[in-house]
Amino acid sequence: MKRDIFSSMKDTILDTSAVIFDVKRYAIHDGPGIRTAVFFKGCPLRCRWCHNPEGTETFPDLLLNSTICASCYTCLKLCPNNALGSDKSGALTPFRELCNGCGLCVEACPYDALQLAGRQVSLKALLSELERDRIFYDQSGGGVTLTGGEPLLQHEFVIALMKELRNRSIHSVLDTSGYAPKEIFRRAAAESDLILYDLKLVDEHRHKEVTGVSNKLIIDNLKWAANSGLDLVIRIPLIPGINDSDVEIRDKAKFLAALGNIRSVNILPYHRGGLEKARRLGESSSFDEFEAPSEEMLNMALKIFRDHGFEVKTGG
């Protein structure tokens, strides 16, 4: 019963409509100034530490926050697909394979315990939502950040959105994994004012192991972007046991230094924020729990990048 929103939307993407799973205002760690971040649904990568697991799939995800759920069963009575039931203890239990993401339960839940990650939004409606914080963008040199998921999965919309933002003199930041066909990446890059470029691992084999995809596209797009002199900030998630070894960090720093034109690196230390969302998605098993990096580890990473001549900071 899972409905692939992209297949059902193929015609409407050109009518500039997209699926997003959040619009977050006062985003202050995703580019300059005060920003509004738009989270696009769907991601080709499956990083085991993902902190937005509700953004990876291309179908709407039902999230259940059991600590808030009062087991009133208002939702249960409404679901047209019998996708909601209760377990022996009476706790609400979603049967996600039956859920088609219609959202009736979410709309009705009195406690806001149910949420749907994935709503369709027209370009026009999204722009008016984004323009609400214009005074803050203007004041702070902020703007809009397109993130996800992987925004370039919905590239036509994303490009159209950035064009419209530019027409309105609103600064746009593209936060991307870089995992996109080069034509698409280049077109999108041209419309953005700044790219936050995620780099997990340089080693292709390891990359595939922990994200599920090769990093060839990512590296190629990055090289092109660096060569073209685009405004780039490299964001590196620091995941203990995955990419935090001294050698790994040095390799990455050397690799980036060799690209030239890159000045700025952000280190994003792993945190457990994704686990709760994975739990709410019923997907705990698909994600690993890691330790948060120690202060020493973080400082070491910062120092290595600094020694290679980068402006480096923690967080975005």
Partner 1 sequence: MNERVRRLRERSLQTEPTISSERARLVTEFYSGPGARGVSAVMQRAMAFKYIMENKEICINDDELIVGERGPSPKATPTYPEVTCHTISDLETLNSRPKTSFRVTEETKKIYSESVIPFWRGRSMRDRIFSEMTQEWKDAYDAGVFTEFMEQRAPGHTVNGGTIYHKGMLSLKEDISRAIAGLDYYNDPEAFSKKEQLCAMSICADAIITFARRHSDLARRMSANEKNPQRQAELLRIAKICRRVPADAPRDFYEALQAYWFIHLGVITEYNTWDAFNPGRLDQHLWPFYKKGLEENSLTREGAKDLLQAFWVKFNNQPSPPKVGVTAEESGTYTDFALINVGGLKRDGSDGVNELSFLILDVIEEMRILQPSSMVQISARTPDSFLIRALRIVRTGFGQPSIFNSDAIVKELVRQGKIVQDAREGGASGCVEAGAFGREAYILTGYFNLPKIFEITLHNGFDPRTGKKIGLQTGTPESFDTFDKLFAAYKRQIQYFVDIKIRGSNVIERLYMDNLPAPFLSILIDDCIARGKDYHAGGARYNTNYIQGVGTGTITDSLSSINYNVFERNRLSLKSLASILDRNYDNEEILRNIFLNKTPKYGNDDDFADSLMQRVFEAYFDAVDGRPSPRGGKYRINMLPTTAHIYFGKVLGATPDGRKAEEPISEGVSPVQGADRHGPTAVIKSVGKMDHIRTGGTLLNQKFTPQLLNDEDDLVKLAHLVRSYFRLDGHHIQFNVVSADLLKEAQVHPERHRDLIVRVAGYSDYFVDCGTELQDEIIRRTEHQAL
Number of residues lying near partner 1 (CB under 8 A): 43
193 binds partner 1 (CB under 8 A): no
Q: Is 82 helix (H, G, I), strand (E, B) or coil?
A: coil
Q: Using CB under 8 A, which of 169, 273, 299, 309 touches partner 1?
A: 273
- Closer CB to partner 1, residue 28 or residue 184? 28
Q: What does the radius of gyration of the chain's CA atoms come to, in whole angstroms?
A: 20
Rounded to the nearest whole angstrom, what is the least distance from the CB of residue 205 to partner 1 in the complex? 27
Question: Binding to partner 1 by residue 279, rule CB under 8 A?
Answer: yes
Q: What is the DSSP string of 10-62?
A: HHHHHT-EEEEEEEEEEE-SSSSSSEEEEEES--S---TT-S-GGGSSSS-EE
The site string for partner 1 over 106-145 (x = CB under 8 A, - otherwise) reads -xxxxxx-------------------xx-xx--xx-x---
Residue 6 CB burial class (10 angstroms; 0-12, 13-18, ≥19)? middle
Q: Which is nearer to partner 1, 181 or 273 (CB)?
A: 273
Nearest Cα to 152, choosing from 314, 50, 18, 287?
18
Decide whether 58 or 274 has the Cβ nearer to partner 1.
274
Site string for partner 1, 26-55 (x = CB under 8 A): xxxxx--xx----------------x----
Both structure tokens of 25: 């205002």
Query: CA dihedral in degrees (228, 259, 263, 150; nearest 10)?
Result: 70
Nearer to partner 1, 23 or 217 (CB): 23
The span from the CA of 86 to the CA of 226, in Å, is: 53
Q: How far is the CB of 299 from partner 1 (least distance, A)?
A: 15
- Look up residue 209 and give its DSSP letter: H
Residue 185 sits at φ, ψ, to 5 deg, of: -60, -45
The least distance separating partner 1 from the CB of residue 115, rounded to whole angstroms, comes to 10
Point out which residues bind partner 1 (CB under 8 A).
Answer: 24-30, 33-34, 51, 65, 67-68, 70, 72, 74, 107-112, 132-133, 135-136, 139-140, 142, 266, 268-273, 275-276, 279, 292, 314-316
